[in-house]
């Protein structure tokens, strides 16, 4: 998906990024003009000094002014560069902030379709490249242009003929170099894409470290990483090759123009058309013209690199955030369950994942408030998908999902999710400490409450295992905990928030008897005065349920209690005997 948007971004795309820095940039502009003025005055003063020396005149005052100009020019340059760096850092910070904020608000389907590593490299590596756009790119181009214009004007005034000769030589060289430099943007973008792939490969290898180690696949995975790295290297080399042509062409141009001016200028001095002072001033201006030109060329390649990176950033920023295309929410959530209205209701719901075929067909059932409903069915029947639709991670393609009588599409997502607890089947623990994991849903809970819910799910020992207490690390994805502990920690999190409705995807893993009993108790603790919709993988869960919904191939095939369904539904009987874990 990273290459799906070929729309190139132009310089204009940079403007919104620079807007908030326009005050500083204006100061930088004024400083640049002042600096350019100080520099451009130097050859004229030098000429006056030389002409006066030839005429045996007094030069001390002129020399003093010249010294002041040199020092002033340098000081202005220093201040300008600092402000420019500050703006560049500010631009990187602003972009990272926007990008990070947006990344966390993308529709869930975007995460399904994109590689995590690639997204990471956009926040880390691509934003860094934007820095050079401001420092060496944009401003060297603009200040260079000011110098070139000033020097050019002075040269025309000094000797139009000599200027014509210079222009011809410099123009030829530059035109040639610029055509090369244009290729840098596509090359730089390609290099950044390879870096995205490399980060993805690293992320994949590290997140599946145990499986990869157990499969003895380290070398192959490492090859995949270095493969992308090698491609990034090759793309970088192609950029270097372009720069290797652009640089020398620039130097040859400058040296050629210098020799030409010396030759023709010498002849014109000999012929008495200009003075020695004129020629020296002209040569000095030639350097003021040539150095910025070489700088502009380099800056141009930097700018192209930055625009390549900007395109990758814009690709993400232009994906509408979750909810951006919603119809306006009609109502806000009501606090108390309404009598007689089911808490959750699926009404002829149809759904297919983006780009895939239909996963659910005409699903209808209701979960009365304060009751437990278990979803059972063969693997892939669509059970977890139903939970995702209540959370509105995806939108139904047909029918309606209602929470407490209101279409979930009419509830603001925040209000909807504040009423739901959601415990995923896999990896529901975040890297960090026990405390951080609990505080995700309720940032202001007291330690006493935290210890209380941990006890309720039989995890009290975790907070007492080490002197760090609640600040004990749980590891990336909770690897320092057992599978059963991970699930119970997620339930504790839901308990802490105390939502009226809990959506729970039961772990499929076989737990030992103690863990199994602890999980049971945790679910019972969380079920008190709550509505539960559980994807059930355990016999004990279905036996305890007020109602069981049997799903097959995305359709509801039976609804009833364990006793009823054992009597009437052959698929249920088969599931209960062969698929549900006996706990
Ligand atoms: N994010 C996704 N993108 C595309 N297809 C998906 C996605 N998640 C699930 N599916 C597909 O949708 C179908 C239903 O999946 P779902 O996870 O709801 O099944 P399930 O009944 O919960 O299965 P299990 O008991 O194995 O967890 C499956 O065919 C699955 O391959």
Query: What whole-number distance in Å separates Cα of residue 482 and Cα of residue 461?
Result: 13
- CA 37 to ligand 1 center in whole angstroms: 68
Span from the CA of 382 to the centroid of ligand 1 (angstroms): 6
Report pLDDT for 395. Answer: 93
Atom of ligand 1 nearest to the CA of 554: 14
Where do the CATH 1.20.1560.10 domains begin and end in the chain? 11-317
- pLDDT tens digits, 498-546: 889 999 988 776 667 777 787 788 788 778 888 999 998 888 888 889 9
234-238, 482-486, 490-494, 560-564, range with greatest mean pLDDT? 560-564
Q: Which ipTM score applies to this complex?
A: 0.96
Helix, strand or coil for residue 353?
Answer: coil
User: Given ligand 1 and candidates 110, 383, 537, 550, which is best to mutate, with the most ligand atoms within 8 Å of its CB?
Assistant: 383
Looking at the CA of residue 425, tell me the nearest atom of ligand 1. Answer: 27
Angle of CA points 341, 347, 348, to nearest 5°: 165
What's the pLDDT score for residue 4?
45
Each residue's pLDDT tens digit, 219-228: 888 888 888 8
Centre a 10 Å sphere on the Cβ of residue 14 and count the other Cβ atoms it contains: 20
Where along the chain do the CATH 3.40.50.300 domains lie? 344-578
Among 201, 207, 205, 203, which Cα is nearest to 230's?
201
Question: What is the best residue among 378, 381, 550, 551 to mutate for testing ligand 1's pocket, by most ligand atoms within 8 Å of CB?
Answer: 381
Q: What is the number of other CB atoms lying within 10 angstroms of the CB of residue 100?
A: 12
Most informative mutation of 106, 346, 353, 425 for ligand 1 (most atoms within 8 A of CB) = 353
Segment 379-399 shows an average pLDDT of: 94
Report whether 409 contacts 349 (CB < 8 A).
no
How confident is the model over 129-151, as pLDDT tens digits?
A: 888 887 777 777 777 777 888 88
Q: Which residues line ligand 1 (CB under 6 A)?
A: 112, 353, 356, 359, 377, 379-385, 535
Residue with tokens 């991670």: 393
Q: How far apart are CA 165 and CA 260, in angstroms?
A: 8
For ligand 1, mutation pick of 1, 376, 384, 555 (most atoms within 8 Å of CB): 384
Contact 550, 565 (CB under 8 A): yes
Question: Looking at domain 11-317, does it have CATH number 1.20.1560.10?
Answer: yes
Cβ contact 373:367 at 8 Å: yes
The residue whose CA has the least distance to atom 5 of ligand 1 is 353
Specify the pTM.
Answer: 0.75
Q: Among the CATH numbers 3.40.50.720, 3.90.1150.10, 2.60.40.420, 3.40.50.300, which is that of 344-578?
A: 3.40.50.300
Distance 231 CA to ligand 1 centre (A): 35
């Amino acid at each position: 998906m990273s290459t799906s948007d070929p729309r190139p971004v132009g310089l204009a795309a940079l403007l919104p990024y620079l807007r908030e820095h326009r005050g500083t940039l204006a100061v930088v502009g004024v400083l640049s003009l002042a600096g350019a003025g100080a520099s451009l005055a130097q050859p004229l003063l030098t000429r006056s000094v030389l002409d006066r020396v030839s005429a045996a005149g007094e030069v001390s005052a002129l020399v003093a002014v010249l010294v002041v100009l040199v020092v002033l020019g340098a000081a202005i340059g220093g201040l300008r560069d600092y402000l420019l760096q500050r703006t560049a850092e500010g631009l990187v910070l602003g972009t990272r902030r926007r990008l990070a904020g947006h990344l966390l608000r993308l529709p869930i389907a975007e995460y399904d379709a994109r590689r995590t590593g690639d997204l990471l490299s956009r926040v880390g590596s691509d934003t860094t490249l934007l820095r050079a756009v401001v420092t060496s790119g944009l401003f060297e181009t603009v200040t260079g242009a000011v110098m070139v214009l000033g020097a050019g004007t002075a040269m025309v005034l000094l000797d139009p003929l000599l200027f014509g000769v210079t222009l011809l030589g410099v123009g030829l060289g530059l035109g040639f170099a610029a055509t090369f430099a244009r290729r840098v943007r596509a090359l730089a973008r390609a290099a950044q894409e390879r870096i995205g792939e490399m980060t993805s490969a690293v992320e994949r290898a590290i997140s599946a470290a145990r499986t990869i180690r157990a499969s003895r696949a380290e070398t192959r995975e490492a090859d995949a990483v270095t493969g992308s790295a090698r491609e990034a290297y090759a793309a970088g080399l192609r950029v270097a090759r372009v720069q290797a042509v652009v640089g020398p062409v620039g130097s040859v141009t400058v040296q050629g123009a210098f020799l030409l001016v010396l030759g023709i200028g010498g002849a014109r001095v000999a012929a008495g058309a200009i003075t020695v002072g004129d020629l020296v001033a002209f040569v000095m201006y030639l350097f003021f013209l040539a150095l910025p030109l070489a700088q502009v060329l380099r800056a141009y390649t930097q700018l192209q690199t930055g625009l390549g990176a900007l395109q990758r950033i814009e690709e993400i920023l232009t994906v509408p955030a979750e909810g951006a295309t919603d119809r306006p929410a009609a109502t806000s959530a009501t606090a108390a369950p309404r009598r007689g209205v089911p808490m959750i209701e699926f009404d002829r719901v149809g759904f297919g994942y983006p780009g895939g075929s239909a996963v659910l067909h005409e699903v209808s059932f209701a979960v009365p408030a304060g009751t437990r409903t278990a979803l059972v069915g063969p693997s892939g029947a669509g059970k977890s998908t139903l939970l995702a639709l209540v959370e509105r991670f995806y939108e139904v393609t047909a029918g309606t999902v209602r929470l407490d009588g209101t279409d979930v599409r009419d509830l603001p997502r925040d209000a909807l999710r504040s009423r739901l607890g959601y415990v995923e089947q896999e990896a529901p623990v975040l890297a960090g400490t026990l405390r951080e994991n609990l505080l995700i849903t309720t940032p202001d809970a007291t330690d006493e409450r935290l210890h209380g819910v941990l006890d309720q799910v039989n995890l009290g020992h975790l907070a007492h295992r080490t002197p760090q207490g609640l600040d004990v690390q749980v590891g990336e994805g909770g690897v320092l905990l057992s599978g059963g502990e991970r699930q119970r920690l997620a339930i504790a999190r839901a308990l802490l928030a105390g939502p009226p409705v809990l959506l729970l995807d039961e772990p499929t893993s076989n737990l030992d008897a103690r863990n199994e009993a602890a999980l049971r108790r945790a679910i019972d603790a969380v079920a008190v005065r709550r509505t539960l919709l559980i994807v059930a993988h355990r016999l004990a869960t279905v036996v305890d349920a007020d109602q069981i919904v049997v799903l097959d191939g995305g359709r509801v095939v039976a609804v009833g209690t364990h006793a009823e369904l054992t009597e009437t539904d052959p698929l249920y009987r088969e599931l209960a005997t062969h698929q549900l874990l006996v706990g």
